[in-house]
Amino acid sequence: MEVLTSQNYQEKISQGAVVVDVGANWCPDCRKISPMMDALAKDYSQVKIFKVDFDQSEDLRESLGIKRIPTLIFYKDGKEVGQRLVEPDTKNIIEAEFKKLV
């Protein structure tokens, strides 16, 4: 999955159905949902999934108001839709939001 920065964030989320996964390599919960996100990427090929590195993109993290990770943000044509998932722990919870997005 492509990692976004503050320089390309708006461009990448501007078209279609997009999920942004904010996390970090050291985060156990982020590592836990990673295979779930990979599976959902295959099942929902029409949804673009991007990552934001919590440590590397401090300015982006602050502008998005991210306090805890992992956080999933859902966009449709550049507008945030649905609810943010903060520390989701099951594929079913995440997939329910994917279904709403498409």
Give me the active site residues, please. Answer: 27, 30
In degrees and rounded to multiples of 5, residue 23 shows phi and psi of -165, -170
DSSP label of 69: S
In degrees and rounded to multiples of 5, residue 17 shows phi and psi of -90, 125
User: E-strand spans in the chain?
Assistant: 2-3, 17-23, 47-53, 71-76, 79-80, 85-86
Tell me the H-state helices in 44-85: 58-64
